[in-house]
Amino acid sequence: MEKNRIYGPVPSRRLGFSLGIDLVEYKHCPLDCIYCQLKRTTRLDASRETTVEIEEVVGQVAAKIATGARVDHLTLGGSGEPTLYGQLGGLIDALHERFDIPVALLTNGVLFGDPAVRAEAARADVVLPSLDAWDQESFELVNRPIAGMGFEAFMDGMIRFRQQYRGLIWLEVMLLAGISDNPDVISRLAAQAARLKPDRIQLNTPVRPPATDLAIPISRQTMTMLADLFKPPAEVTADFPEPAGNDPETHVTTVQVLETITRRPCTARDVAVGLNAPEGEVSAALRILVGEGRIVLSVQDGKDYFKLPA
Ligand code: SF4
């Protein structure tokens, strides 16, 4: 039986309605970021492999689009690092051939030291890499890379990618209280970000329950104050606007709700928008899943998030 490789469309603060495409094993990643929404990395390595055939992914995307769901981006991301997928370039080409929807790549950029990965990633319309550190010490503290992965080698791969890529780079910077929340540190982080010549810099903070208690969000006010220290000035990634309304004819199952929660912690509203379903039905399904112990409730910044149990 085919494994489901797509999720959403989910409302994304940066990509509008984003149809997520999950290409690798759960938490297969060369980093183990302290702020990861997907909990601790269970497979920490940088080996590429083909986990699913291209035709299977394209077929699943086609089926979702045929439902009439709004899709602003086809987003390669999911529950691990998508550049670990061995047929990344071929898949991006196939998506371009079949659909008239821009392809976005969410990546930590760690594999950009490999010319083959750079060439494949460069076929995406927009690449959204992450930069959260400014030196080796902060790289190890925040991103916890595989053994032997140095910060300068990481930066070198990212810079090489920028030099050869003609598309858009939107750099995400995750700011954390007590780690990257003061002007001295931000100046150093901004200097590293400038080396990558991104088209946009977008500041984020862990508003959803993170992998560890070490990742503490900073306030919007502090973020706004720090944004001007970047060049170009950074954007504070705004909360996605409230949806206009969900389709009362859509009925959700606990399986659909659980699939969405498996990808990332969500509020009831997030799930309702992603599945285009009435929030009341989603809330009922969430209550059942909590009662069965398959998900748990976690309050973050006064909001109720649902996530997988630890
Ligand atoms: S945040 Fe992204 S790069 Fe970091 S551990 Fe999670 S999946 Fe990997």
Can you give the CATH number for the domain in which 252 is found? 1.10.10.10
Please list every protein residue whose CB sits less than 6 Å from any atom of ligand 1. 29, 31-33, 36, 38, 41, 81, 108
Residues 104 and 215 in one domain: yes
Please give the Cα distance from 108 to 85 (Å, whole number): 13
Indicate if the pLDDT at residue 122 is higher than 80: yes
Total count of residues recorded for the chain: 310
CA-closest residue to ligand 1 atom 6: 36
Work out the pLDDT band at 229, boundaries 50, 70, 90.
Answer: very high
CA-closest residue to ligand 1 atom 7: 80
CA-closest residue to ligand 1 atom 1: 36
CATH number at residue 68: 3.20.20.70
Indicate if the pLDDT at residue 89 is higher than 70: yes
Say which residues have a Cβ less than 8 Å from residue 305's Cβ, sequence separation at least 6: 208, 209, 265, 266, 267, 297, 298, 299
Last residue of a domain, one of 226, 241, 256: 241
Residue 1: inside a domain: no
Cβ neighbours of 211 (radius 10 Å): 20
Domain range for residue 232?
6-241
Residues 182 and 293 in one domain: no
Work out the pLDDT band at 90, boundaries 50, 70, 90.
Answer: very high
Residues 94 and 151 in one domain: yes
Work out the pLDDT band at 247, boundaries 50, 70, 90.
Answer: low
Please, are residues 73 and 16 in contact by the beta-carbon 8 Å criterion? Answer: yes
Residue 116: inside a domain: yes
Residue 234: inside a domain: yes
Please, are residues 68 and 61 in contact by the beta-carbon 8 Å criterion? Answer: no
Work out the pLDDT band at 279, boundaries 50, 70, 90.
Answer: confident
Last residue of a domain, one of 241, 260, 284: 241
Residues 221 and 296 in one domain: no
Residues 81 and 228 in one domain: yes
Please, are residues 169 and 212 in contact by the beta-carbon 8 Å criterion? Answer: no
Residues 15 and 156 in one domain: yes
Residues 212 and 250 in one domain: no
Residues 85 and 112 in one domain: yes
* Alpha-carbon 137 to chain mean position: 24
Task: Tell me how many domains the chain contains.
Answer: 2
User: What pLDDT score was predicted for residue 260?
Assistant: 84
Most confident of 24-28, 109-113, 239-243: 109-113
Residue type, 37: Q
Q: If you measure from the C-alpha of residue 59 to the centroid of ligand 1, how many angstroms do you get, rounded to a whole number?
A: 27
**What does the DSSP assignment read for 177-237?**
TTTS-SHHHHHHHHHHHHHT--SEEEEE---S--SSTT--PPPHHHHHHHHTTSSSPPEE-
For 292, the token pair is: 């069965």
Residue type, 289: L
Q: If you measure from the C-alpha of residue 80 to the centroid of ligand 1, how many angstroms do you get, rounded to a whole number?
A: 7
Work out the pLDDT band at 71, boundaries 50, 70, 90.
Answer: very high
Pocket test for ligand 1, best of 108, 110, 208 (most atoms within 8 A of CB): 108
Question: What's the mean per-residue pLDDT of the chain?
Answer: 90
Residue 192: inside a domain: yes
Residues 211 and 310 in one domain: no
Residues 106 and 237 in one domain: yes
pLDDT tens figures, 177-199: 999 999 999 999 999 999 999 99
Q: 5: closest CA among 91, 66, 129?
A: 91
Q: 50: closest CA among 144, 120, 108?
A: 120
Last residue of a domain, one of 217, 241, 265: 241
Three-state secondary structure call for residue 57: helix
User: What pLDDT score was predicted for residue 250?
Assistant: 57
pTM for the whole structure: 0.81
Pocket test for ligand 1, best of 28, 38, 173 (most atoms within 8 A of CB): 38
Please, are residues 169 and 109 in contact by the beta-carbon 8 Å criterion? Answer: no
Residues 189 and 282 in one domain: no
Please give the Cα distance from 18 to 85 (Å, whole number): 19
